[in-house]
Structure 1
């Protein structure tokens, strides 16, 4: 980790993921996401921001679920009111 002071705050940065290690991490995150884990959960566990985790998943060619957990092309669930 690299430490820097900005505007009176001490910030710690992890080294930038590059090359083979970046691809390896992206593939690992993709496998976990495809097992049903959320981007937010993966980000928290891996120690990356939501945005970095999402970018890594996209770089790995991950097909992303929508907010309801459906993959592209899946029909929405039928909800019956008052049944």
Structure 2
């Protein structure tokens, strides 16, 4: 996906040019959106074989490397939601 952006003449995000001809024009401190899904305390996604299989199929990181503490998110926006599992 990053390779695709390197071929664009301009990439515009939220009305601002963020790259031109593959060169990044921003400092990288844009907002990071993340989800805090409320699920049952009894549910452990690390032990759900269906979840693990889909995670491994669609993500390039492994589950043990996935969690990121909020302290590492400079400008973050949390989206709270409830999940029925």
Q: Which has the higher contact order (CA 8 A, sep 6+)?
A: 2
Q: Does TM-score exceed 0.5, indicating one fold?
A: no
Q: TM-score range by the shorter chain?
A: under 0.3
Q: Normalising to structure 1: TM-score of the pair?
A: 0.21
Q: Normalising to structure 2: TM-score of the pair?
A: 0.21
Answer 1 or 2: which has greater helix percent: 1
